Amino acid sequence: MISAAVVKELREKTGAGMMDCKRALEESGGDLEKAVDYLRKAGIAKADKKAARKAGDGIVTSYIHPGSKLGVLIEVNCETDFVAKTEEFQQLVKDVAMHIAASAPLVVNREEMDPAMAEREKAVLIDQARASGKPENILEKMVIGRLEKFFAENVLLEQPYVRDPEKTVGAYLKETIGQLGENIVIARFIRFQLGENEQPGTSSE
């Protein structure tokens, strides 16, 4: 029997609905941490189904790092003005802006990466792999692995989220989509650092 107190605790921890929390606890044998994981996975599954829906609303906001030498301007879209005004959505936007300030991604997703930049990186990685003296049949796997690391370091949605490095920014985004029930798209961003050229992230639509 799942107690109301445990259901309430899970709801406060995740923001999920009461029935979803009860179901998660039942599926997890009453284990709170397993129930949290269950809800995260369910949220990601729901998010994948909503990805094709038009996100025509949202907000543009800014984050200025203490000291006023680093700032981010970001646009995040959702489906309705109602969701755009929720605390959860606005917290997501704020969190992602702070992450961009800290981690300096180049683009929102890997499809936006300049093909020439990716090819240059691949060429450098191939040269490095060959210089290591590894057999040719291993080189390709080495290059693929290192190229994936390059994307994980420079693509916003693939970067480890600074507040919880166990998940990516993309996973955090999908969890919020599952929680709010609407498609959410990080459309674009610009990162300004005093004395440097801005680093833009273009539209992901």
Same domain (yes/no): 28, 100? no
Q: What is the pLDDT of residues 152-179, one digit of tens each?
A: 999 999 999 999 999 999 999 998 998 8
Same domain (yes/no): 103, 185? yes
Q: What is the pLDDT of residues 97-156, one digit of tens each?
A: 999 999 999 999 999 998 888 888 888 888 887 787 777 777 778 888 888 999 999 999
Element (H, E) at 46: helix 32-50
Higher pLDDT, 4 or 50: 4
What CATH code is carried by the domain that includes residue 22? 1.10.8.10
Same domain (yes/no): 103, 159? yes
Same domain (yes/no): 103, 119? no
Above 50 in pLDDT, residue 204? no
Same domain (yes/no): 9, 104? no
In 66-135, which residue ranges form alpha helices assigned H by DSSP?
A: 81-84, 87-103, 115-131
Higher pLDDT, 70 or 38: 70
- Spatial separation of the C-alpha atoms in residues 114 and 36, rounded to whole Å: 37
pTM over 0.75: no
Coil, strand or helix: which one is 180?
Answer: helix
Same domain (yes/no): 129, 187? no
Domain that holds residue 31: 4-50
Same domain (yes/no): 63, 142? no
Above 50 in pLDDT, residue 205? no
Q: What does 7-36 look like in DSSP terms, one character per residue?
A: HHHHHHHH---HHHHHHHHHHTTT-HHHHH
> What's the chain's Rg over C-alpha atoms?
20
What CATH code is carried by the domain that includes residue 194? 3.30.479.20
Tokens of 108: 């929102």
Number of independent structural domains in the chain: 3
